[in-house]
């Protein structure tokens, strides 16, 4: 086979004779099985992979596919960078959007006038042994009073005014939120997407419930536990019978950086949405948003926000970083604003009594250290009474178990107990 | 090629795709086996090519080119399979199967086939592929270059080098072995 033609012929014959072997019988079966578990890729994916094309993309002898891929990668990086700039720009926008007085339904050109304050005196006190004296928030299960403090969540016997038990979450010391139901204490785990249920009597953990994201607030309403987050704009419903999340309801756009406020009643849960200036009602029967009520004052919320529902009226307390606040009453049935009152100071701890809406007002007037408990007329929003609390500001105030309770800042943490009749409007 | 079957396969019809490739699998296997010189690797290459064809069939712009496209995928699968074979740590020595000639042959012809087999196996896989495409499939230069995924000029020069390398391999095999210190060089 020295001659070239002979060599070519010889090679051709050799290859042809060697090519008579048939493929194994199982080859097609294997292929058939493999393709039935996969779907063809999209045309774009096939093109980018190159071997999916019936002819390569060519410019003369130059194959531009790597360049095409690099171009697409560069375009993707530019798009991501642009997106990051846009998002960064949006998040850098000031969150403080103070509404002009004309944006509200009631003229807010002036602060509400406060009547002269009457003194109020505690009739009892409960030392809680906190070195830095920070008792934060109250809740009641109908028989005991619970208060969150650095050492945990303390159970107070109202009859003896003593600490009779405690629940100690791992994140003690941080601003965890909690809710109580008969026999149980529910605590948001500060750093994890979970809620821990504790036995109220023994203080032991009895269940850890996974929730979709790290929760920032928790409340008990309509026979369920509700938890929500700032970042996701969702609330999740926990069934106390099974300790499982049974529904998650989206109430606002995700990544909302504003605080949410929540109020629960037997048959409804209300969520305040400061970015949109509205409050939504979640129907526990269907786990859906059933109503939306506009509350323009919420647009300006840059501080803590409180919601309270009573007798068909929604009260929204909105604090602003400039040290003033608004209180708005909304008629739920008609979704109309009844009144909005501007107060010189920061508000918290609303309590509804038959004759008035009572509010803790901190920093009223020229002195930020002054504290008052003011009464507002539910019909007009006028401030009709004020109590001067000689013990200073309370971090929370609650009306529970026949008394008014106040948590105290200061070096020696304690709860002060006032008679229930103390929150009665005095005729002037 | 049945255009209808190709279009159905592009829409995700696995039965249509199976019908399409069933008639082509013998030729694909023969091509792979000639290039790779191993039955198991040829089977792997054909399976790989057919799976890639299924996954990428929506990138096939001209249904009439299905067969040529499938052959090109098979050649590229052979390259990948050969590359994997080279990367194996343990060198497998496969028995040389010279095949059964279709007609009775003379002894010197068998010896020549054995030489050809040895020489062919010494070639790089891309040179084996160009020889198979040119001498076995008898494709035109344009179709052959398309199947190999290279320009016509590159295909021709590669064919020239492959032929020269094969002839050189045969010449080297023709030389008498020299015994030095008990080892054959």
User: pLDDT tier at A302 (50, 70, 90 boundaries)?
Assistant: low
Chain A interface, best mutation among B12, B55, B119, by max A CB count within 10 A: B55
Contact A21 B10 (CB under 8 A): no
Residues 57-86 of B with CB under 8 A from A: 57-62, 65-66, 68-69, 73, 76
- Position A196 scores a pLDDT of 92
pLDDT above 70 as % of chain A: 74
Q: Do B30 and A21 touch (CB under 8 A)?
A: yes
Mean pLDDT of the A397-410 span: 80
Average pLDDT of every residue of chain A: 77
Pick from A28, A31, A42: which is nearest to B51 by CB?
Answer: A31
Over residues A227-241, the mean pLDDT reads 82
Q: What is the band of A198 on the pLDDT scale with cuts at 50, 70, 90?
A: very high
Residue indicated by tokens 């194994």:
A24
Distance of CA A322 to the CA centre of its chain: 23
Place of tokens 């296997």: B29
Residue A89 has pLDDT above 50, yes or no: no
pLDDT surpasses 70 at A50: no
Whether A30 has its CB under 8 Å from any CB of chain B: the answer is yes
Say if the Cβ atoms of A35 and B54 lie within 8 Å.
yes
Residue of B nearest to A12 (CA): B135
- Which residue, among A8, A27, A42, would best test binding to B if mutated, counting the most B CBs under 10 Å from its CB? A27
pLDDT at A39: 78
Q: What is the pLDDT of residue A91?
A: 41
Does B29 sit within 8 Å of A40, measured CB to CB? no
Q: What is the per-residue pLDDT for B46?
A: 93
- Interface contact A22-B47, CB threshold 8 A: no
A242 touches chain B (CB under 8 A): no
Query: B56 and A22: CB-CB below 8 Å?
Result: no
**Using alpha carbons only, what angle is made at residue B95 by residues B92 and B96, rounded to the nearest 5 degrees?**
120
pLDDT tens per residue, range B4-55:
888 888 888 888 898 889 888 989 999 999 999 888 889 999 999 999 898 8
Residue B86 has pLDDT above 70, yes or no: no
Decide which of A339 and A259 is more confident. A339
- Summarize pLDDT for A335-377 with one digit per residue, the tens: 788 898 988 888 888 899 988 999 988 765 545 455 688 999 9
Statement: residue B171 has pLDDT above 90: no
Of residues B136 and A301, more confidently modeled: B136
Q: From the candidates B3, B59, B156, which should be mutated to test the interface with A, based on the most A CB atoms within 10 A?
A: B59
Contact A55 B25 (CB under 8 A): no
| In the predicted structure, residue A93 carries a pLDDT above the cut 50 | no
Burial call B95-111: b when 16+ CB within 10 Å, e when fewer: eeeebebeeeeeeeeee
Mean pLDDT for the stretch of residues A15-25: 78
Sign, CA dihedral B125-B128-B132-B133, equals positive
Band of pLDDT at residue A241, cut at 50, 70 and 90: very high
pLDDT at residue A92 is higher than 70: no
pLDDT of residue B89: 36
Q: Does B152 touch chain A (CB under 8 A)?
A: no
- Contact call for B136 and A7, based on CB within 8 A: no
């Amino acid at each position: 086979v020295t001659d070239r033609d002979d060599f070519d012929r010889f090679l051709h014959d050799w290859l042809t004779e060697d090519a008579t072997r048939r493929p194994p019988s199982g080859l097609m079966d294997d292929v058939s099985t493999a393709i039935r578990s996969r779907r063809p890729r999209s045309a774009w994916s096939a093109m980018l992979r190159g071997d999916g094309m019936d002819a390569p993309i060519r410019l003369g002898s130059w194959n531009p596919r790597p360049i095409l891929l690099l171009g697409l990668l560069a375009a993707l990086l530019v798009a991501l960078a642009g997106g990051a700039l846009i998002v960064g720009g949006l998040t850098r926008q000031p969150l403080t959007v103070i509404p002009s007085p004309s944006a509200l339904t009631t003229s807010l050109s002036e602060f509400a006038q406060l009547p002269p304050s009457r003194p109020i005196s505690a009739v009892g006190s409960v030392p809680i042994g906190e070195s830095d004296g920070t008792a934060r928030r109250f809740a009641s299960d109908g028989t005991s009073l619970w208060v969150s403090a650095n050492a945990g969540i303390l159970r107070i016997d109202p009859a003896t005014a003593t600490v009779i038990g405690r629940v100690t979450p791992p994140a003690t010391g941080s601003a965890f939120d909690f809710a109580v139901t008969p026999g149980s204490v529910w605590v948001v785990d500060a750093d994890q997407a979970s809620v821990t249920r504790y036995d109220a009597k023994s203080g032991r953990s009895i269940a850890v419930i996974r929730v979709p994201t790290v929760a920032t607030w928790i409340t008990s309403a309509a026979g369920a536990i509700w938890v929500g987050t700032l970042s996701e704009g969702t609330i999740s419903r926990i069934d106390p019978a099974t300790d499982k999340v049974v529904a998650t309801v989206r109430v606002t756009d995700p990544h909302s950086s504003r605080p949410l406020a929540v109020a629960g009643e037997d048959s409804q849960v209300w969520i305040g949405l400061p970015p949109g200036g509205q409050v939504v009602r979640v129907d526990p029967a269907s786990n859906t948003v059933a109503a939306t009520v506009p509350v323009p004052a919420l647009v300006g919320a840059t501080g803590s926000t409180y919601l309270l529902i009573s007798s068909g009226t929604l009260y929204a307390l909105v604090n602003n970083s400039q040290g003033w606040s608004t209180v708005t009453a909304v008629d739920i049935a008609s979704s109309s604003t009844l009144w909005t009152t501007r107060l010189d100071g920061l508000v918290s701890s609303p309590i509804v009594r038959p004759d008035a809406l009572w509010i803790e007002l901190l920093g009223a007037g020229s002195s930020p250290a002054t504290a008052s408990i003011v009464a507002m007329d539910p019909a007009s929003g006028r401030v009709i009474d004020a109590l001067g609390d000689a013990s200073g500001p309370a971090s929370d105030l609650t009306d529970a178990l026949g008394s008014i309770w106040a948590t105290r800042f200061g070096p020696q943490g304690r709860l002060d107990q006032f008679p229930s009749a103390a929150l009665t409007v005095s005729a002037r | 090629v049945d255009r209808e079957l190709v279009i159905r396969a592009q829409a995700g019809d696995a039965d249509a795709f199976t019908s399409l490739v069933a008639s082509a699998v013998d030729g694909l296997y023969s091509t792979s086996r000639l290039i790779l010189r191993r039955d198991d690797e040829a089977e792997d290459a054909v399976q790989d090519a057919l799976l890639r064809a299924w996954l990428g069939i929506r990138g096939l712009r001209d249904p009439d080119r299905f067969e040529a496209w499938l052959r090109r995928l098979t050649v590229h699968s052979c390259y990948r399979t050969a590359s994997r074979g080279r990367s194996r740590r343990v060198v497998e020595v496969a028995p040389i199967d010279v095949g059964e000639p279709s007609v009775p042959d003379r002894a010197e012809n068998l010896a020549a086939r054995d030489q050809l087999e040895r020489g062919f196996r010494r070639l790089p896989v891309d040179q084996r592929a160009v020889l198979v495409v040119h001498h076995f499939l008898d494709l035109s230069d344009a179709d052959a270059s398309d199947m190999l995924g290279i320009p016509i000029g590159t295909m021709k020069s590669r064919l020239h080098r492959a032929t020269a390398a094969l002839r050189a391999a045969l010449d080297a095999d023709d030389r008498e072995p020299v015994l030095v210190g008990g080892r054959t060089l």
